[in-house]
Amino acid sequence: MTDRLEQQFAFLREVEKLKSVTRATPIHDASRPENSAEHSWTLALYALVLADQAAPGVDALRAVKMLLIHDIVEIDVGDVPIHSAGGTAHSSADIQAAELTAATRIFSLLPKDMADEFQALWEEFEAAETPTAIYAKSLDRAQPVLLNHQSGGGSWIDYDVTWDQLETRVGSKIARGLPGVWDWVKTRIRPWFADRGL
């Protein structure tokens, strides 16, 4: 198993770098930006804890695996904030192409069978067509909203986000996989925007 171990540890050593990728959302006490490694940890916990809110056909443990690896491409590409460039940068063709190249480079560090499995998981997440990927994507949209709210506004302030923009860019994506969760979240965060005339 030594050759496999070499490859497994080459990958595990490389992904340590995700701890240096910062996001637009601050952590709970607004003391610093969140990084993509700890964000991924939170999302894996979200997938476990909210499993009974998921639609039929969702495999919550598969979603955990997806969410553990979903941002690894940012080691090469960086995080593209959802509200940057008027909300358009996140899903641009350039970014998507760069992320695919990064996924292939990083997952290829693993033994071939695991590289194929992780690449397929990542592509399933990105495509957001299976129930499990839709669930995982909804969680990935929900957590930053709650963390922005917890920290006092976070990237909503930095990017002058209005309530309509939040509903369009984020709320609709949460509601796609988790309509009950979006209803709950909406009730809690709507006043933050209303209080500021946004």
Q: Is 116 helix (H, G, I), strand (E, B) or coil?
A: helix
Q: What does the block give as tokens for 178?
A: 């988790």
Nearer to a second copy, 63 or 133 (CB): 63
Q: Which of residues 70-109 bind a second copy (CB under 8 A)?
A: none
- C-beta neighbour count of 110 within 10 angstroms: 20
Nearer to a second copy, 13 or 105 (CB): 13
Q: What does the block give as tokens for 72?
A: 């690894």
Tell me the C-alpha to C-alpha distance, in Å, between residue 26 and each of 33, 39, 110, 157, 188: 4, 10, 32, 11, 19
Residue 11 binds a second copy (CB under 8 A): yes
Tell me the C-alpha to C-alpha distance, in Å, between residue 65 and each of 61, 86, 136, 145: 6, 31, 10, 22
x-or-dash pattern for a second copy, window 25-54, by CB under 8 A? --xxx-x--xx-xx-xxx-xxx-xxx-xx-
Minimum distance from residue 110 beta carbon to a second copy (Å): 7
State the residues that interact with a second copy by CB under 8 A.
1-2, 4-5, 8-9, 11-13, 15-17, 19-20, 27-29, 31, 34-35, 37-38, 40-42, 44-46, 48-50, 52-53, 61, 64-65, 68-69, 110, 114, 143, 146-147, 150, 180-181, 184
